[in-house]
Amino acid sequence: MSDTTETKKPTIVDKVTDAISKPAKPKMEDLKAEWEKVRHTADTLEGHKFITVSSVPIKDLYTPEDMADIDFETEIGYPGFTPYTRGVHPSMYRRRLWTRRQFSGMGTPEQTNERYHFLLNQGQMGLSVAFDLPTLMGYDSDHARSKGEVGVCGVAVDSLKDMETIFKGIDLGEISTSMTINAPAAIILAFYIVVAEKKGIKPDQLRGTLQNDILKEYIAQKEWIYPPAPSMKLIADTIEFGTREMPLWNTISISGYHIREAGSTAVQELAYTLADGFAYVEAGLARGLDVDEFAPRLSFFFNSHLDFFEEIAKYRAARKIWARHMKEKYGAKDPKSYLMRFHTQTAGVSLTAQQPENNIPRVTWQAMAAALGGTQSLHTNSMDETLALPSEKAALIALRTQQLVAYESGITNTIDPLAGSYFVESLTKQTEDEAEKIFEEIERRGGVLAAIEQGYFQRELAKSAYTYQRAVEKGERVVVGVNKFVMDNAEIEIPLLKIDESVEREQIESLRQLKQARDNDKVQRTLGELKEAAERDDNLMPYFMECARVYATMGEIVDVLRDIYGEYEEPPTI
Amino acid sequence: MAQRIRVLLAKPGLDGHDRGIKVIAAALRDAGMEVIYTGLRQTPDMVVEAAIQEDVDFVGMSILSGAHMTLFPEVLNLLKEKGAENIHLFGGGIIPDKEAKQLEEQGVGRLFGPGTSTEDIVKYIKSVASERSAEAMM
């Protein structure tokens, strides 16, 4: 038997043979010098710059030098473990794909119910409800301010009756439902709980997400009702109620999506959103809850914009930052409290009205970026959204796009396939460092609420949006079909969905019938009890549920609180 | 020297999407115009009143919520009722071509869609303004 561990001393002949067959390993600095001699150093091509969609300059090449400070164990690691750079689950999409969840809702509750049955039959896994503007602002369909807006950009909900119609024939014990609503979120949640209750389903069986993120409304989307302080009280009510009664429900979806749509850069989206998240954690703590009781039900919602790698770096950095701050600053002990789960929607603002079919490939790589960034669920936009609400055909293509990415592209075979890329790791770190600087700025201004009052976020967004627009107009940034490869008279051949004006009439009529049929004395009594509870500063969730049960309307409930809390008015800043 | 063009930019209805209108505001200012921005959630009455009080030449409304077929005609009618039809109403947003044409036929000025260059809007305002001053001199 030979001893394989013993090595024979090389003879001089061996050494010479080796030197001839294996040239000496080249040195990195020599390779770099060689390359630098021949590289093309111009910083534009055909007039456009090498910058991300957020105007971050990108180098022509990334090498191990860019990863010198990035340690595998502390900065990258394994999925499902600190620092969570690579994803929140140990097996990611090899165990379960992301949830394909398309946001929809329009017209009457009946029409929306029909669309939901269609989407569920096409393989959609969860529902996501879009409400119309009057509902989002707490006005009933018959209010003067609702004129022209009823059922237009979502479904109209005036009372429990409408919610019952929307979810007709859908098992709320099985499905997970996301509801995009903020200022009156607690009231809609109460409606949803009561719809389920009437079918014998308890709150602790309900799965889903309430957007319920008022801070980003003041920052970006601007659908508020009350001033910030009472709005935060209502959110704390839902956090407290959810913690006790709804263990499977995500109480807030802390949203960067709208911040990005309103003009922010990727880093601003990340930093403002996480800063909002920390503010909600502080609100929960102020209620006397333990961080590990409620933080596991906080979820996030990000945008997936055009710049593929910048977006992937953003998601990877976001998970790292959340985990670190939750542990170090807020003392979270339960991993569920500090692992960041998020939903993604492709960027509406990146779609063009010109040559709208081009939006299909745009959405495709945005969906790929979200998947490569480790999203838990995804909405892909329809190609016609710059023109109108999605038609059925466009909505189906959008859903198919993410099914194609999930099942045909191969990117789900391995976890976090871009890890270790000099560029992606370096950009992830850079994004993280830049976000930390913004947290410091917000802190310096006295926190998120103070910064909102100072108009800080609003000004920063307007500035970034104008910078972007100017870059497009100067041709530094190419938008295909808009400032390059333009086609005149390109006919749009996709059928547009138009909300019929009869929706408003029908909805108002249905509301009138409701008010006739219900027990109006009981409604008044229940609204009175809500008023007293609000004055005592009680948790209002049980009172909202009682109002739902007697078919008080959204507008009636919101008005009770409008009288007590007042209405928010933003000073116009440009 | 010609007087500076005065433009009121308004967000009527419940729509909170104000990215576009703020970009337009900045661009019109950079082009030397006086810009007054109403802020969000204006009723047609509020828009027309502000336009008259501020003595503007133009009102630009941005509507991305789909309520354009209600809000543009209301503002147009109110301007007429108050004897302020000399104020030129134009706008932008998510407005399908067919409906934009209908509104233009009713007397609304140009309606700019997504992807419009701010330069085109500046040019449009300047050309309407110079036509008007030419008419006024005749």
Q: How far is B24 from B77, CA to CA, in rounded Å?
A: 25
- Planar angle of CA A95, A96, A102, nearest 5 degrees: 170
Between CA A267 and CA A256 the distance in angstroms is: 10
* B25 occurs within a structural domain: yes
In angstroms, the CA A135 to CA A115 distance is 19
Residue A46: C-alpha distances to residues A455, A476, B81 (Å): 38, 9, 53
Distance (Å, whole) CA A256 – CA A264:
9
CA distance A27 to A50: 29
Q: What is the pLDDT, as a whole number, of residue A492? A: 63
- pLDDT tens figures, B20-75: 999 999 999 999 999 999 999 999 999 999 999 999 999 999 999 888 999 999 99
Contact A320, A373 (CB under 8 A): no
CA geometry: angle A535, A540, A541, nearest 5 deg: 175
What's the number of domains chain B is made of? 1
Sequence spans of domains, chain A: 66-89+101-473
- Specify the 3-state DSSP secondary structure of A51: strand
pLDDT score at A9: 76
CB under 8 A, 24+ apart: contacts of B131-137: B132/B57, B132/B88, B133/B2
Q: What is the model's pLDDT at position B2? A: 61
Is A205:A559 a contact under the CB 8 Å cutoff?
A: no
Q: How far is B108 from chain A (nearest CA, A)?
A: 18
* B90 occurs within a structural domain: yes
Task: Give the closest residue to B23 by CA, choosing from A476, A269, A271, A472.
Answer: A472
Rounded (to 5) percent helix, strand, coil in chain B: 50, 20, 35
Amino acid, res. A49: K
Nearest to B16 among A145, A222, A481 (CB): A222
The token pair at B123 is 């040019």
Look at residue A136 and give its three-state secondary structure. Answer: helix
Residue A376 burial by CB count (10 A; 0-12/13-18/19+): exposed, middle or buried? buried
A133 → closest Cβ in B15, B39, B43:
B15
Shortest Cα distance from B135 to chain A (angstroms)? 32
**Closest C-alpha among A141, A154, A465, A86 to residue A305:** A465
The stretch B98-114 carries a mean pLDDT of: 94
Average pLDDT over residues B101-121: 95
In chain A, DSSP finds a helix count (H) and a strand count (E) of 22, 12
Mean pLDDT of B110-126: 95
Which of B14, B19, B97 lies nearest to residue A134, judging by beta carbons?
B14
Taking the C-alpha atoms of residue A530 and residue A546, their distance in angstroms, rounded to an integer, is: 9
A139 contacts A555 by C-beta, under 8 angstroms: yes
Q: Which helix (H) or strand (E) holds A162?
A: helix A160-166
Complete DSSP assignment for A266-284 = HHHHHHHHHHHHHHHHHHH
Q: Please answer whether residues A108 and A156 qualify as being in contact, where contact means their C-beta atoms are separated by less than 8 angstroms.
A: yes
CB contact under 8 A, B27 and A469: yes
Q: What is the CATH number of the domain that holds B40?
A: 3.40.50.280
Q: Please state, in angstroms and rounded to a whole number, the distance separating the CA atoms of residues A244 and A545.
A: 15
CA distance B109 to B90: 4
Please give the biggest Cα pair distance in chain B. Answer: 42
Considering the domain boundaries, does residue B1 fall inside one?
A: no
The tokens for A130 are 């879009």
Q: How far is it, in rounded angstroms, from Cα A347 to Cα A358?
A: 14
Q: Which residues of B touch A184 (CB under 8 A)?
A: none
Q: Which of B11, B22, B24, B37 to mutate to test the interface with A (most CBs of A within 10 A)?
A: B22
Q: Flag whether pLDDT at B1 surpasses 50.
A: no
Residues A245 and B9: their CA atoms lie apart, in Å, by: 47
Which residues are within 8 A (CB) of A77 and not within 5 positions of it... i.e. 6 or more apart? A83, A84, A85, A86
Q: Compute the CA torsion angle A506, A511, A516, A521 (nearest 10 deg).
A: 180
Whether the predicted interface score ipTM is above 0.90:
no
The Cβ-side half-sphere exposure at A416, using a 13 Å CA radius, reads 26
**Residue A438 region, left (φ>0) first, then alpha (ψ -120 to 50), else beta?**
alpha
Task: Pick A148's closest partner by Cβ from B35, B38, B69.
Answer: B69
Find the closest chain A residue to B72 by CA distance: A148
What is A66-89+101-473's CATH number, 3.40.640.10, 3.40.50.1370, 3.90.1300.10, 3.20.20.240?
Answer: 3.20.20.240
Q: Chain B residues with CB-CB distance to A under 8 A? A: 9, 13-19, 22-23, 25-27, 35, 37-41, 43, 65-67, 69-71, 94, 96-97, 113-115, 117-119
Q: Which residues contact B101 (CB under 8 A, 6 or more apart)?
A: none
Domain, as residue range, for B49 = 6-137
What pLDDT was estimated at residue A289?
Answer: 96
φ, ψ dihedrals at A317, nearest 5°: -65, -40
Helix (H, G, I), strand (E, B) or coil at A28: helix
- Tokens representing residue A22 in the block: 């294996």
Which pLDDT belongs to residue A2? 47
Tens of pLDDT along chain A (574 residues) come to: 444 555 667 777 777 776 667 778 899 999 999 999 999 988 888 888 899 999 899 999 999 999 999 999 999 999 999 999 999 999 999 999 998 887 877 889 999 999 899 888 988 778 989 999 999 999 999 999 999 899 988 999 999 999 999 999 999 999 999 999 999 999 999 999 999 999 999 999 999 999 999 999 999 999 999 999 999 999 999 999 999 999 999 999 999 999 999 999 999 999 999 999 999 999 999 999 999 999 999 999 999 999 999 999 999 999 999 999 999 999 999 999 999 999 999 999 999 999 999 999 999 999 999 999 999 999 999 999 888 778 889 989 999 999 999 999 999 999 999 999 999 999 999 999 999 999 999 999 999 999 999 999 999 999 999 999 999 998 889 999 999 999 976 666 667 677 788 999 999 999 999 999 999 999 999 999 999 999 999 999 999 999 999 999 999 999 999 999 999 988 777 6
Between the CA atoms of A532, A534, A536 and A541, what dihedral angle is there, to the nearest 10 degrees?
A: 110
